[in-house]
Chains A and B, each alone.
Chain A
Amino acid sequence: MATPKEMMTTWDKIQFGAVLPSFEDPANKVRSKFNSYNYKVADWRVEKPVFNRNLCIDCDFCWVFCPDSCFEVEEVVNKRGKKQAKIVGINYDLCKGCGVCVEVCPTPIKSLLMFSEFVENDEALKQWPKKEDKKD
């Protein structure tokens, strides 16, 4: 008898007691075509969050509180030699525009802000509030 993982190689060869292996290969960005990752819920939203990389401190709060797992992270090694996650962007196919990420963003000027769906991301970054604006 094989190990639970080997028992589940393809759908037609499934045996009792099989435990599914992961269909994902994050390193090569391969996902099963039946993974809901490939589904688009973008038409649900009215406003979209825009991410400003320059203000981000990589606290990863948005990653943990996003209910739709739409923050894309990259694994990097920091100065102390520990691995840490770096936020690289938002997957707009999965984002429903709930705005939780903007609420939990802790930076003084938020590195995530909601903009209308029709504003281009580059345009939104130009409209970003500056430090002086905040004091008023």
Chain B
Amino acid sequence: MKNITTLKEFACTPDRFNGGHRLCPGCAHGMIVREVVNATDDDLVISTATGCLEVCTAIYPYTSWDVSWLHIGFENAAAGISGAEAMYKALSKKNKSYNPDKNVKFVAFGGDGGTYDIGFQSLSGATERGHDFLYVCLDNEGYMNTGAQRSSSTPIGAHTTTSPRGKLSYGEKNRKKDLTMIMAAHGCPYVATATPGSKHWKDMAQKAAKAISTVGPTFINALSPCTTEWKFKPEDTVEISDLAVETCMFPLFEIEDGHKLTVNYKPKNKLPVEEYLSKQGRFSHLFKPENRWVIEEIQKEVDRYWEYLLRREEAGV
């Protein structure tokens, strides 16, 4: 496990995910992927589900990846990586000389569409079979690559093209699926949430380092603010991630062995959710008087979930 203490030391890591990709300006995908890839010195094999990340980093003839990289369909990033991992194990067993000079680690990246909805069966299967890999979900709360369709990660009230706001509609009507808890229920040795917030780079890098070094299936759910479809200015990416944590819309916690929950960051002053919602254009219609009740609902749900996390941490079960 790579020891990450100070940013000054961490910044000496040579980049294995290079710039020049065509992600939008201010896209958080770049920040998250760089931190995860730099969080280990071992050789990496990466599989990426179809999505913004895959489309933008591998445009012929250029590639941004300086590691073994596998592009695979929307639904089977986890299946691809578990196949690669099984082959690596089988070859090491068969041939004594197939001994790498460094460990090889396996990482899969998927968007929220490729994780919450389409890729869920392969992720669930790979977790159940117990392959040794890390799955990182880059959660931008919708199918942003194809122009903002709703996914099961879209929160209540958000405007997307398939859950539009209007005279009678207040946007998305279903609540966000709690995938982190679902993955913990699979019995993964390590499950965590992360954001690219200004105080939380270390939290994310350490979680990635820990998850990569843990044997067995591990999962990180990383909130990735999308400047284009959440409708905020590109320079606010980090601020939005901060607000998501400060308002407890996206709390930072980790679960070990499927049950031991630790809340990694407790905001001193829990901000009201309006602070987070008002910064984003996709929630702007909620501030009309007739839609105010949706904000109250969101606040209630956030409070309930935060209390649940705190109580569960306290109980230690």
Residue of A nearest to B27 (CB): A67
B288 to chain A, nearest CB (A): 29
Is the pair A17, B88 in contact by a Cβ cutoff of 8 Å?
yes
The answer to whether B98 touches A17 (Cβ under 8 A) is yes
Per-position 1/0 for B92-104, Cβ under 8 A of A? 0001011111001
Which of A36, A60, A64 is B19 in contact with, Cβ under 8 Å?
A36
Contact with B along A54-74 (1 / 0, CB 8 A): 000011110111111110010
A-side interface residues, number (CB < 8 Å): 55
Residues of B within 8 A of A97 (CB): 25
Is B110 located at the chain interface by the 8 A CB criterion?
no
* Residues of A contacting B68 in the complex (Cβ-Cβ under 8 angstroms): 18-20
Interface segment, one of B133-141, B148-156, B229-237: B229-237
The secondary-structure label for the interface of chain A is loop
Complex-state Cα separation, A97 to B29, whole angstroms: 16
Are B9 and A84 touching (Cβ within 8 A)? yes
With both beta carbons as reference points, the residue of chain B lying nearest to A7 in the complex is identified as B98
What residue in chain A is nearest B102 (Cβ atoms)? A5
The answer to whether the Cβ of A131 comes within 8 Å of any Cβ in the partner chain is no
Cβ contacts B5-41/A at 8 Å (1 or 0 each): 0111111101111111111111111110011000000
Given A61-B7, A61-B198: A69 and B30 interface contact (C-beta under 8 Å): yes
Q: Please, which residues of chain B bring their CB within 8 A of the CB of A96?
A: 24-26
- Report the bound CA distance from A26 to B38 in whole Å: 15
> Is the pair B235, A3 in contact by a Cβ cutoff of 8 Å?
no
Other-chain contact of A63, B11, B24, B196, B227 (Cβ < 8 Å): B11
Q: Which residues of B contact A59 (CB under 8 A)?
A: 7-8
B11 touches A98 (CB 8 A): no
> Considering the chains assembled together, what is the distance between the CA atoms of A26 and B63 in angstroms?
17
User: Interface code B226-260, partner A: CB below 8 Å = 1, 0 otherwise?
Assistant: 01000001111111000000000000000000000
Instruction: Indicate which residue in B10, B23, B95, B198 contacts A65 across the interface (CB closer than 8 Å).
Output: B198
Q: Does B303 contact A (CB under 8 A)?
A: no
Residues facing B in A70-108 (CB within 8 A) are 70, 73, 75, 78, 82-85, 91, 93-94, 96-100, 102-104
Type the 1/0 row for A2-43, where 1 means its CB is closer than 8 Å to any CB of B: 111100000000001111101110100001001111111100
Q: Find chain B residues with CB under 8 A from A67 CB.
A: 23, 25-31, 34, 237
Shortest beta-carbon distance from A41 to chain B in Å: 6
Decide if B57 is an interface residue (CB 8 Å cutoff).
yes
Q: Shortest beta-carbon distance, A135 to chain B, in Å? A: 25
B306 within 8 A of partner (CB): no
Shortest CB distance B279–A (Å): 13
Q: Residue of B at shortest CB range from A39? A: B20
Q: Enumerate chain B residues within 8 angstroms of A99, measured Cβ to Cβ.
A: 26, 233-235
Contacts of B294 in A (CB 8 A): none
CB pair B12–A73 under 8 Å, yes or no, is yes
Q: How far apart sit A78 and B11, CA to CA, in the bound complex (Å)?
A: 14
Contacts of B59 in A (CB 8 A): 36
- Whether a CB of chain B sits under 8 angstroms from the CB of A45 is yes
Query: Which residues of the partner chain A approach B11 to less than 8 Å between Cβ atoms?
Result: 60, 63-64, 73, 84-85
Given the complex of chains A and B, what is the CA–CA distance between A35 and B196 in angstroms?
25
- Check if A84 sits within 8 Å of B30, measured CB to CB: no
B87 within 8 A of A: yes
- Contact at A64–B10, with CB atoms within 8 Å? yes
Contacts of B35 in A (CB 8 A): 64
Is the Cβ of A68 less than 8 Å from the Cβ of B45?
no
Instruction: Name the B residues within 8 Å of A3 (CB-CB).
Output: 97-101
5 intermolecular pairs with C-beta atoms under 8 Å apart: A31-B18, A35-B66, A38-B62, A69-B18, A97-B25
Q: 8 tightest CB-CB pairs across the interface, nearest first? A: A67-B30, A99-B235, A85-B11, A36-B20, A98-B26, A98-B25, A94-B19, A84-B8
